[in-house]
Amino acid sequence: MEQTGLSEQEAIRRESLKNIESLGIPAYPAEAFDVNVTTARLRKEYDAEKGNFTDISIAGRIMTRRIMGAAAFFELQDEYGRIQVYVKRDEICPDEDKTLYNTVFKKLLDIGDIVGIRGYAFVTQTGELSIHAKALKLLSKSLRVLPIVKEKDGEVFDAFSDPEQRYRMRYVDLIVNPQVRDTFIKRTNIINAMRTFFNAQNYLEVDTPVLQSIPGGASARPFVTHHNALDIPLYLRIANELYLKRLIVGGFTGVYEFSRNFRNEGMDRTHNPEFTCMEIYVAYKDYLWMMNFTEQLFENIAMEVNGTTKVTVGENEIDFKGPYPRLPLLDAIKQYAGVEVAGKDEEQLRAICRQLHIEVTPSMGKGKLIDAIFGEQCEQHLLQPTFITDYPVELSPLTKRHRSNPELTERFELFVNGKELCNAYSELNDPVDQLRRFEEQARLKDKGDDEAMFIDMDFVRALEYGMPPTSGMGIGIDRLVMMMTGAPSIQDVLLFPQMRPEGK
């Protein structure tokens, strides 16, 4: 079907495509093109004295071109960078037919086209490492014009910098802003560092369901779908906690999972409705042990990924070297908000919120009111890694009560640069208390709190078989990557962040 609404240049490229195919040259050949070297390896290993790399096979995009009659230079870009290629008409067209050079290369190829080159490495008279092409093959014709970034006298022109376009068309962003790749390479390195750290402790990586009949493990509004064969509603998971703890009941000592979670909530610079979380659970441990474990983990990640425990986030230098301060939640509110919330009932907490000009809703219980005060008054002060500990019971329906104060729980959250980075507990393993906590969540749901937890009777049944003392922790991978790379927005560390449909 003919496309309409094409720009003049796009129409020209489609005409070039027809002309290439009319010459019997496949614009999208089926056979493989064997690549035996990358730009990175060439730059690292080429030695002019040794005269190595005499039989190169490399592929990539044409990014710039300079045609000088019977010869030309162009820049080839692969995954690792760019390198100059020298093309001489009589070498890539040794026979009398010069169509490949005179017609195809000079007139029908464009910036953005993907080509394969065979040749050898050399250094030009100006000292630039280059490839002398002996053969050239078109591998894929580009029908759209790349927004090529131009530089002159250190100034950048026509940069592909509009955030919405970059996030919506990440494939273009990666081509024309290759530095963006570094963020996603670091993201993979961060996950690999975590896996290596956990595997060294003999903890087992597992998979748990994404589609759940009861969404549990967090306070959040789920996405709802429907299973036709069973004729039941299902939910995209908001967390994998309850399934991982079932595995601890089943006898595993330590399990972890990198999971895609989904929460039907707003979007901002630190929230995306689809996100990655790592959760780990270790039997016979408590939250005090987990704090020490967390310090070692984050210090290890920083060293593996950046070679130092220090990272720069905006204007702040963050140091992940332990130990981290440990500050009880109620003490943090007293210190930063100047109010005492310990022992206050719901109406007294609402009065404190009004006093501090914090917006609240009728559906918010004691836990959410305390959390709102902490979020508005305290979080922005927690720049260096800080454990906020000992949360009220109302805020922590899956957490064991504190050993010295039953009104509190053995829970901590790690805050860095004013944002929560991980959440951990001494896990509640008393099935009777767990059922009471679920029932309290049900009362909050009846009041209109659509983020309150569902009652999961199968999980209660699992606890009734006996779960050993356990500590668990969850880490938001996207936020962690933001910290380790200094990215200002979660969209910068997601290859394909959620976007509104185009035109809306």
State residue 169 phi and psi, 5-degree precision.
-115, 65
Name residues whose C-beta falls within 8 Å of residue 430's C-beta, 6 or more positions apart in sequence.
Answer: 400, 463
Query: Exposed, middle or buried by CB within 10 Å (0-12, 13-18, 19+), for 296?
Result: exposed
Rounded average pLDDT over 361-371: 89
The identity of residue 503, as a single letter, is G
Domain map of the chain by residue range? 8-146, 180-325+384-493
The whole-number pLDDT of residue 324 equals 98
In this predicted structure, the answer to whether residue 86 has a pLDDT above a threshold of 70 is: yes
The whole-number pLDDT of residue 3 equals 62
Max CA separation in the chain (angstroms):
93
Residues 73 and 128: beta-carbon distance below 8 Å:
no
The whole-number pLDDT of residue 152 equals 64
DSSP 268-304: BTTB-SEEEEEEEEEET--HHHHHHHHHHHHHHHHHH
What average pLDDT does the chain have? 93
Per-residue model confidence as pLDDT tens digits over 195-206: 999 999 999 999
pLDDT band at 1 (very low <50, low <70, confident <90, very high): very low
pLDDT band at 85 (very low <50, low <70, confident <90, very high): very high
The whole-number pLDDT of residue 155 equals 62
Q: What is the reported pTM?
A: 0.90
Rounded average pLDDT over 476-491: 94
Q: Is 265 helix (H, G, I), strand (E, B) or coil?
A: coil
Supply the angle between the helices 180-199 and 287-306 in degrees, to the nearest 10.
140
CA distance 472 to 468: 12
DSSP 338-378: ----TT--HHHHHHHHHHTT----TT--HHHHHHHHHHHHT
CATH number attached to the domain at 8-146: 2.40.50.140
Q: Is 497 helix (H, G, I), strand (E, B) or coil?
A: coil
Rounded average pLDDT over 172-193: 95
CA distance 333 to 89: 75
CA distance 29 to 140: 8
Strand partners, 280: 256, 473
Per-residue model confidence as pLDDT tens digits over 305-349: 999 999 999 889 999 999 999 999 999 999 999 999 998 999 999
Hey, which CATH number is domain 180-325+384-493, 1.10.600.10, 3.10.290.10, 3.40.50.970, 3.30.930.10? 3.30.930.10
pLDDT band at 399 (very low <50, low <70, confident <90, very high): very high
Rounded average pLDDT over 212-234: 92
Q: What HEC string does 449-479 produce?
A: CCCCCCCCHHHHHHHHCCCCCEEEEEEEHHH
Per-residue model confidence as pLDDT tens digits over 104-159: 999 999 999 999 999 999 999 999 999 999 999 999 999 999 997 666 666 655 67
State residue 3 phi and psi, 5-degree precision.
-90, 140
Per-residue model confidence as pLDDT tens digits over 267-313: 888 899 999 999 999 999 999 999 999 999 999 999 999 999 999 99
The whole-number pLDDT of residue 151 equals 62
Rounded average pLDDT over 161-175: 93
In this predicted structure, the answer to whether residue 5 has a pLDDT above a threshold of 80 is: no
